[in-house]
Amino acid sequence: MRRRLALPPAVLPALGVGLFVAAWAAAVALSRTRLVPGPLDVVRALGELLAHGLLLRYLVASLFRVTWGFVLAALVAIPAGIALALSRRAEAALNPLVQVLRPISPLAWIPISILWFGVGDGAAVWLIFVATFFSLLVTVIRAVHDVDPVHKNAAWNFGLDRRRLVRQVIFPAILPQLIVGLRLALGIAWLVVVAAEMIAVDSGLGFLIVDARNAGNRYDLVVAGMVMIGAVGLLLDTLVRRLERLPAVAWGFSG
């Protein structure tokens, strides 16, 4: 058998991006359209934003809202999910409410969030909280149910109380599924913050896109904002995926 040439891990992704950029530039050049900017136009737009100090400002604003909304949702959803999963009565009582609220689009909460918090960071953070809370809650409940009953029974036989059961058995057992849930929830949070910034605030990458469209149809800035959103989303996902390599959770991703 012929041995395949081993390539560095970054080569194929870089090749894919390069081919996409080349196809993009060729399509714009052949169509001679002025509505869709080419790659060089987008690079110049990013340079313009950077020179005026707007790129970093908008990026920090978006990350600030995502961080607060996501962290608050995790702090509430994780213990609430564990508590509900360990109490059949509480889960039976609250599950219908969760299933009614969960499918509601976070964007449907925009009028209420503006009414409660006004136009500003509070409204965006609330939208991110709502969007990620139910996703994490369902993930945690499902993960606790998936814990092998043998482990729970062994813990009870050794005399562990509920608090020690959660700390020493339940939480370590659900960590792999929890990491996956956090990764998905963070992606949702990044999507929602962009949508929220188009309506509820006056800064951030979402606001940049709307403002650029309204200010003389600056589609180069629009696409520049889209590129930044995609790049930051990829970076956030990569950072969360690194958690899968931790010894405490790596066992859940083996095989």
- What CATH number has the domain bearing residue 236? 1.10.3720.10
Tell me the two tokens of residue 9. 């891990």
Domain that includes residue 76, residue range? 50-246
Residue 162, domain member (yes or no)? yes
Number of neighbouring beta carbons within 10 Å of residue 16 = 10
Residue 157, domain member (yes or no)? yes
Residue 127, domain member (yes or no)? yes
Tell me the two tokens of residue 73. 């949702």
Residue 28, domain member (yes or no)? no
Residue 8, domain member (yes or no)? no
* pLDDT at res. 37: 85
Taking phi over 0 as left and psi of -120 to 50 as alpha, with beta for the rest, 173 belongs to alpha
The Cα 77–Cα 83 span in angstroms is 10
The pTM of the whole model exceeds 0.95:
no
The DSSP H or E segment spanning 84 is: helix 54-86
| Mean pLDDT along residues 215-221 | 79
Residue 39, domain member (yes or no)? no
Per the structure, the count of domains in the chain is 1
Higher-pLDDT residue of 19 and 216 is: 19
Residues in CB range of 36: below 8 A, 6 or more apart = 27, 28, 219, 223
The Cα 60–Cα 228 span in angstroms is 12
Residue 153, domain member (yes or no)? yes
* pLDDT at res. 133: 93
| Mean pLDDT along residues 212-216 | 76
Q: Tell me: the pLDDT tens digits for 30-68?
A: 887 777 888 898 899 999 989 988 889 989 999 999 999
Residue 34, domain member (yes or no)? no
